[in-house]
Structure 1
């Protein structure tokens, strides 16, 4: 079987529209498993929005979706910061694996899990105790949004520890090219979550289960996260992994490895925190528009629907970015920096080609797409249609931003990604969305215009860095 690093280290040959299919087949193979895993993970979260949007009371459904608009970014702001342990662990695992040091790759997992247990417990405590204060600050649309958001955030915080440890295992398996392992866990999680959502959100009188609404969604998603972790642990205990990589041995404890994991985690986690904080302030400003216009939770629910629709593009791109990060890290470990660069650019090419038809669909049928999320309140699709058309215009640059940022993580350039994210959020997305939205009165369209400018800026920042060659010489 041809390995990721079995290709030549020749530099890329000028500007090309189509990728090298021999390379892209390897990325597509790895990325297909990651994509399916991420999409199923996405549906664990999207199922909450889809199912509370179908509550019998339209007012409760819209308020619940507005609450989820705050709850999910808050969950990922805290959980994503600590789960960023995966970026360093994957990059280090990929390097060691490509160097033929399989036991040292296993050592990375042992120390990553050690860090994840501590980080996950800390993250869960931070999420539980800070969640109510964060929701109180951010909820602008209605009192119902505030109350429902607090309940959901605290329930999801109870699952942050499981998520962080799961990401440590995922990083190892992705780093050695076994991207299908997390897919198995994600599929089982998703099916379990949907079934439990149905029982807890709507209730089941014959089984004695009360109707819990958004609280039921929180319980179901949290429990499903622990199930996913149990599956990842079970797979890692299989002899074909435990005997080969010898990761569950106390002699693997190494403060130097732990230090390197944390050094790579902190900038990546900070970038995730900055990203989610920007989105949360974005939701806060949308809530101000709802409050100023007296539209209840309509624009907030529409924004949540837009975010979930955009995530259908974001998650596959993130999957291919993760697969590309594995190819980049293994290529660098094998001493082939030009091959690493070719993997990055070819992934961008295939991503752009894939986004063109999706952008056309977003442009032609925006209300119909948003109606899938909010079928019981026609005001929500009408409020978000123009903004979804704006989203369609930036999909090519979204490809560049996501895939190349993940590729830079694979190379170890985590600090650069953090700085670029921070500058663009603080200097562009947050102030510009407030200025064009609540301040000048351009509404949701003004705010999403700011988001489009941010995406284009991020794409240019990631593209410029990857085009330079400094990332090729980073030591891990």
Structure 2
């Protein structure tokens, strides 16, 4: 194939991905706003947000991973024109995500004592606990929102979740401003104020997407609930069969980034604050790749439903090429602006210098980080989740974490060593996942060709 066979798909890929990118960036913007506003209070409060969110992100990865099972199943049903099957997956997905929200809320409350045993600065832990308690409750609306979002994404209707997320950010900024600093009639709550702002914005986000989807004709057939479709164990098994490995994939990746927070905390408050700044910036560019990963899931799922496997491979490769080019631009930007971006967060010179060093490594792993999440999305569209889960575990915890742990010590490379482990893990993941996709997509094409030949001969 010519290069144009792939680049001609860029427009459609971006059309689907752009709302997802903005929506995912909206999620990160909640953290960015918290960081920017709390950073004005000093390094310890900023480090506390980083520590509290480290546990939240682990819980979030599990919940979002389960919800991701909805998208490929809806996309395949939509490609095959089977509304009844899609409706069943959607309704059972809402129930599953609601249960997950409750369980994750309880899990976060029970995990609070862990923070006291992670060798973190005591003043940081004391600030993080109240923040964590409030944000934990936001798992309930957020998980149900994810069910609606992944359903709409599966139908290639990605803009509605974007609207909900962006408006929720406005709500978050307003309540943060009043509650963190004690403006107007509101009390000065500092970190707890930021947590309350996040909680309110997530309830708003769920309410908004529920209202907007129930009014659209596109979703009318999917909104009908009947007793005969309720609680089918086969559908729950299908969702769990896809959702549990996907949740593990996200857990393995998010957990190694969370481990950097704990490892940086052992180096002191300033290294932990610098680590939080670099993570927040890297997560914003990562969300662009997540948008293309969702696009890969949707389009591969559609082609799988149509049994158009050559088109499936071509479209998937076009998303891989597109994310590579976009992440290359981000990598150059990180290097060029490494001394400028951290200064927006905090005025502490040592923290800014440390964060600037970490952004150099972040620039290097932009390419592999973007590629691995989009390839995972394509494999999810093929409903191949078990082997990729093993690949993720090997990449992050057999290859990446030992590098972070050894070179991240104070007498080795410190914070830079921690991030070199991330680079090693993400690069290994991207390479192995591509090999997996290449094998499966070629196998599907070959099997279809052989079946066609058998029909001709018979």
**Structure 2 length-normalised TM:** 0.93
Question: Matches of residues 8-87 of structure 1 in structure 2 within 5 Å?
Answer: 13=1, 16=3, 20-55=6-41, 61-87=42-68
- Is residue 166 of structure 1 aligned with residue 145 of structure 2? yes
- Structure 1 residues 412-435: Cα deviation after superposition (integer angstroms, max 9, x where no partner): 112222211211222122221110
Question: What is the distance in 1 between the residues matched to 2:443 and 2:123?
Answer: 51
2:327 to 355, 360, 374: 355
Question: What is the distance in 2 between the residues matched to 1:407 and 1:461?
Answer: 14
1:90, distance to aligned residue in structure 2 (A): 0.5
- Is residue 345 of structure 1 aligned with residue 317 of structure 2? yes
- Is residue 100 of structure 1 aligned with residue 81 of structure 2? yes
Question: Matches of residues 9-408 of structure 1 in structure 2 within 5 Å?
Answer: 13=1, 16=3, 20-55=6-41, 61-130=42-111, 132-138=112-118, 140=120, 142-204=121-183, 206-207=184-185, 209-238=186-215, 240-253=217-230, 254-290=232-268, 297-374=269-346, 376-408=347-379
Question: What is the distance in 2 between the residues matched to 1:356 and 1:186?
Answer: 27
Instruction: Work out the number of aligned pairs and report it.
Output: 444
Question: What is the distance in 2 between the residues matched to 1:72 and 1:23?
Answer: 37
Kindly indicate whether the alpha-carbon contact (under 8 Å) linking 1:370 and 1:384 is maintained by their aligned counterparts in 2.
yes
The 4+ residue runs of structure 1 with deviation greater than 6 A are none
Question: What is the distance in 1 between the residues matched to 2:127 and 2:224?
Answer: 42
Bigger drift between 259-268 and 81-90 goes to 81-90
Question: What is the distance in 1 between the residues matched to 2:89 and 2:444?
Answer: 21
- Structure 1 residues 450-471: Cα deviation after superposition (integer angstroms, max 9, x where no partner): 2111121111111111111269
Question: What is the distance in 2 between the residues matched to 1:143 and 1:229?
Answer: 36
Kindly indicate whether the alpha-carbon contact (under 8 Å) linking 2:6 and 2:317 is maintained by their aligned counterparts in 1.
no
- Is residue 415 of structure 1 aligned with residue 392 of structure 2? no
Kindly indicate whether the alpha-carbon contact (under 8 Å) linking 1:19 and 1:350 is maintained by their aligned counterparts in 2.
no
1:243, distance to aligned residue in structure 2 (A): 2.9
1:264, distance to aligned residue in structure 2 (A): 1.0
Question: What is the distance in 1 between the residues matched to 2:215 and 2:46?
Answer: 41
Question: What is the distance in 2 between the residues matched to 1:181 and 1:400?
Answer: 26
**Structure 1 length-normalised TM:** 0.89
Q: 1:139 to 1:409 in 2, by over 3 A?
A: farther
- Structure 1 residues 194-215: Cα deviation after superposition (integer angstroms, max 9, x where no partner): 11111111112x31x1111111
Question: What is the distance in 2 between the residues matched to 1:304 and 1:473?
Answer: 43
- Runs (5+) with no aligned partner, structure 1: 1-12, 56-60, 291-296
SS in 1 for 2:307: coil
- Is residue 443 of structure 1 aligned with residue 414 of structure 2? yes
Q: 1:243 to 1:284 in 2, by over 3 A?
A: closer
Query: How big is the alpha-carbon RMSD for the aligned residues of Structure 1 and Structure 2?
Result: 1.9
Kindly indicate whether the alpha-carbon contact (under 8 Å) linking 1:109 and 1:247 is maintained by their aligned counterparts in 2.
no
1:242, distance to aligned residue in structure 2 (A): 4.7
1:236, distance to aligned residue in structure 2 (A): 2.8
Question: What is the distance in 1 between the residues matched to 2:29 and 2:8?
Answer: 31
Name 1:427's counterpart in structure 2: 398
1:244, distance to aligned residue in structure 2 (A): 2.6
Question: What is the distance in 1 between the residues matched to 2:101 and 2:341?
Answer: 36
